[in-house]
Structure 1
Amino acid sequence: MGLGGSWDETPYGTAEIDEAEAAIQTALDSGITVFDHADIYRRGKSEAVFGEVLARTPGLRERIVLQTKCGIRQADGTLPGLYDLRAATIARRAEESLTRLRTDVLDVLLLHRPDPLADPAETGEALSALHRQGLVRQFGVSNMSGAQIALLKQHTDVPLVANQLEMSLARRDWVEDGVLLNTPAAARSGFPTGTLEYCLRHGIRLQAWGALAQGRFTGRQQTPEERATAALLTTLAEAKGTTPETILLWWLQRHPARIAPVIGTARPSRIHACRDAALRPPELTHEEWYVLWVTARGAQLP
């Protein structure tokens, strides 16, 4: 999301392409080979500058996995931002992403947000058609519940391989939901119960957007809980010979759902700080995982 310059209509230039190249190379050097896009990021410029780097780097496309998302329409004139999972829109947006990314095929296409007006049969057929045409290899969803995924699966013959949700040590409702059952706090969770279990049961990989919690534990601490968690992350990182960013990602990866963090930064230094999450298995004990959780929530578990 950070590639391509500003969010307005200002065209990107050589500086933005060079910035994208530096981010991509740092990721590759750090063991990261999956790149997550969306057609709306920087109004398409994020995909476009990435495509420029692919064009100037022979052989790079074969070394990486390209994932993008469609389904959100940004505000335009008198129209507010809205969601659109009609078949024609999905097909058009996928083709536009292919053009911007300068590739013949997308490895993964995610549906970015649920569209309440979408006919699941029409949406499912749109995915099947893109697969038959050889334009998309695999599909998934983003910000959807287990029930929504189950309905979509009934209307397409392509497997859904991923569900991307906001998940981090700061955004904990996905894990809190599982332990607040039969407590007064359960109604305040808001997370769709059973979604993690559904994804596990059906082999749908959970991807965590916002995995670094927007820096709330690694430089932007404001609350007592955030400051205490930041101190704990630093202590654990020093003991394990890694970085606080890696500890944050290990906390997600340690979960049995095999959560794949999306680190969402274009800064090479920040990408490099996450390298051990790609190069080493999570080195958090059962107890360390829980201490991080309880420290971040600022209260004991029920």
Structure 2
Amino acid sequence: MKLGSSGLETAPIALGCMRMKDLDKQEALRVIETSKEAGITLFDHADIYGAGSSEEIFAAGLKESAVKREDIILQSKCGIRDGFFDFSKQHILSSVDGILERLQTDYLDVLLLHRPDALMEPEEVADAFRQLKESGKVRHFGVSNHQPCHIDLLKQYVKEDLIINQLQFSLMHTPMLDAGLNLNMHNRESVMRDAGVLPYSQLNGMTVQAWSPFQFGMIEGVFIDNPAYPDVNKALQEVAESYNVSKSTIAIAWILRHPAGIQAVIGSMNPDRIHSISEAQNVKLSRKEWYSLYRAAGNNLP
């Protein structure tokens, strides 16, 4: 798949590196090489993951691995500080310098603004992006957890394409779908909580990256094999058996089935699980299977 309007090509599954802070160098090496073997080439970071230690451990593992820097896509995020958000020019520039130092690389393929800053001055963001692009420190830009109006505001000033919006999305977290399916209905599902961000992304050539694809609620827990969710697990098991894969694989295949071309960001640091989940790239669910899983997750169709 291509990332937004860029020329970057990658697998429909990316590896989120938040939990890499808990690994040593050899474990990180194995995760990186396993991911590459499974076709995963995009590695997602943020400067707050492990207070920067996740990036450092990744860099140490990559240095010892057979994987070359030019054969992968390094993505990181900035803007979250201790108790507040900061999209000031100075903070963006200094954050990127720190990210590059920790990742031991000369450039980032993609930089995302992590969460909307209510005090954002878009002119400052635009100036920071321009300097980063001209210096070669960042090649592409995007956002995370941003509404369409926030993106449009940035676009009035930022000259570089915004190619990604990273958003929470899973079989058990579907606000991006619910309101569209329940338009003009008197039910809770009809309430638009996402400002139409999924069709907006499709219309504007932005790739949606789905974070926490196995979580329910606001990172409240994993729904796979969770006894609190028997219906969705039963449905996942039935579909998984028909494809001879795991339930987790089907949960990712469900995300990949959407025509928006969503990229799933998985966070496992278990090489066997990474291999298993990556099989989702070869599974294309039927419409009947996709909707049956959506309904088993507790959603009603009007």
TM-score w.r.t. length of structure 2: 0.88
The answer as to whether partners of 1:17 and 1:50 remain within 8 angstroms in 2 is yes
Query: Could you say which residue in structure 1 is the equivalent of 2:130?
Result: 128
- The amino acid across from 2:19 in the alignment is G
String of CA shifts for 1:253-295, please: whole Å, max 9, x gaps.
Answer: 11111110001121223212211123x2x42001110000001
Query: Could you say which residue in structure 2 is the equivalent of 1:292?
Result: 293
In the alignment, structure 1 residue 217 sits paired with structure 2 residue 223? yes
The answer as to whether partners of 2:29 and 2:65 remain within 8 angstroms in 1 is no
Query: Could you say which residue in structure 1 is the equivalent of 2:11?
Result: none
Q: Which of 11, 24, 36 is the matching residue for 1:16? A: 24
Q: Which of 105, 122, 126 is the matching residue for 1:103? A: 105
Segment of structure 1 superposing worse, 110-119 or 181-190: 181-190
The answer as to whether partners of 1:146 and 1:196 remain within 8 angstroms in 2 is no
Cα offset for 1:187? 7.5
In the alignment, structure 1 residue 47 sits paired with structure 2 residue 64? no
Q: How many pairs were matched up? A: 281
* Identical columns (%): 40
Cα offset for 1:152? 0.5
String of CA shifts for 1:229-257, please: whole Å, max 9, x gaps.
Answer: 11211221111122211111111111111
String of CA shifts for 1:26-82, please: whole Å, max 9, x gaps.
Answer: 2112111110000000110000001112222365212211000000013xxxxxx11
- The amino acid across from 1:120 in the alignment is P
* RMSD, matched Cα: 1.7
Q: Give the whole-Å Cα distance in 2 for the aligned partners of 1:272 and 1:63.
A: 19
String of CA shifts for 1:60-117, please: whole Å, max 9, x gaps.
Answer: 212211000000013xxxxxx1110001000000110000000001000000000000
Q: Give the whole-Å Cα distance in 2 for the aligned partners of 1:246 and 1:28.
A: 17
- In structure 2, runs of 5+ residues without a counterpart are 1-17
The answer as to whether partners of 1:51 and 1:102 remain within 8 angstroms in 2 is yes
Query: Could you say which residue in structure 2 is the equivalent of 1:84?
Result: 86
Query: Could you say which residue in structure 1 is the equivalent of 2:161?
Result: 159
Q: Give the whole-Å Cα distance in 2 for the aligned partners of 1:227 and 1:59.
A: 41
Q: Give the whole-Å Cα distance in 1 for the aligned partners of 2:92 and 2:142.
A: 13
Greater RCO, 1 or 2 (C-alpha within 8 Å, sep 6+) = 2
Query: Could you say which residue in structure 2 is the equivalent of 1:175?
Result: 177
Q: Give the whole-Å Cα distance in 2 for the aligned partners of 1:259 and 1:157.
A: 24
In the alignment, structure 1 residue 268 sits paired with structure 2 residue 276? no
In the alignment, structure 1 residue 277 sits paired with structure 2 residue 285? no
- In structure 1, runs of 5+ residues without a counterpart are 6-14, 75-80
| Local SS of the residue matching 1:117 | coil
Call closer, same or farther: CA 1:196–1:149 in 2, change over 3 Å. same
Cα offset for 1:218? 2.2
Q: Give the whole-Å Cα distance in 1 for the aligned partners of 2:261 and 2:67.
A: 29
TM-score w.r.t. length of structure 1: 0.88
Q: Give the whole-Å Cα distance in 1 for the aligned partners of 2:206 and 2:78.
A: 19
- The amino acid across from 1:273 in the alignment is S
The answer as to whether partners of 2:28 and 2:58 remain within 8 angstroms in 1 is yes
